[in-house]
Structure 1
Amino acid sequence: MPLETFEYDSAEFLGSEEAIAEYLLAASEDGDANHIARALGVVARARGMSDLSRNTGLTRPALYRALSGDGNPEFGTIAKVADALGYRLNLVLKADRGSTAAVK
């Protein structure tokens, strides 16, 4: 009897706002634009792509393409999606591991 497998979808595990926030934080820590776009897509699927489409004015197919992690969405699209999901983009100074000087 062959082993039956199921496709893994991380959106199924984002049932709370805390889980979503932690997921987005983890996905954005390395600064990889594809990881961030894909994570926003997962959150969008968890919350409902139709609602996001209405809130952003972007079509569902455009959102799926932009948030697949394989596309190259414009920065404005990512910012618009983050805003519609209740988040803002934030730039944080990288910690300089070799320096002990404090940032003023």
Structure 2
Amino acid sequence: MSNLNSVPYDPAEYLTTAEDVKSYLEACLEENDPQLFIKALGIAARSQGMAEISKQTGLGRESLYKSFGEGKHPRFETVFKVIQALGLEFRLQPHMATA
């Protein structure tokens, strides 16, 4: 019997700390799927509140929602600013297979 009162799962509700966000995004990166990472970044941004991310990035809240919508391809600058607003930074390292 299905529960008609069930609420759809929203991973943003479970990203309550900076470490949660970092781990979630790292796990998505490991999949080597850019669209999955973009979707995950949008979820991470929602977990912190799009109004707050908007304020920190200088990008409009509605623009952020649109940028990280299904099938969207946000500009690198947008991705970079959102990652910084989440308190994270890019780090590059040699791929283990080539190190």
- Indicate whether the TM-score tops 0.5: yes
Gaps of 5+ in 2: none
Percent identical among aligned pairs is: 36
TM-score, normalising length: structure 2: 0.84
Question: 1 or 2 for the larger relative contact order (CA 8 Å, sep ≥6)?
Answer: 2
Q: Distance in 2 between matches of 1:67 and 1:48?
A: 14
Q: Distance in 2 between matches of 1:55 and 1:14?
A: 19
SS in structure 2 of the partner of residue 94 of structure 1? coil
Can you list the C-alpha shifts for 1:2-52, whole angstroms capped at 9, x where unaligned?
Answer: 532321100111122221111111011233221221111111111111011
Gaps of 5+ in 1: 97-101
Would the alpha carbon gap of residues 95 and 69 (structure 1) be closer, same or farther in structure 2, given more than 3 Å must change? farther
Q: Say which one has the larger Rg.
A: 1
The ranges of structure 1 where at least 4 consecutive aligned residues each deviate by more than 4 angstroms after the TM superposition are none
**Counterpart of 2:30?**
29
Deviation at 1:95, TM superposition (A): 2.6
The aligned length equals 98
Task: Give me the CA root mean square deviation.
Answer: 1.9
**Counterpart of 1:13?**
14
Moved more, 28-37 or 53-62: 28-37
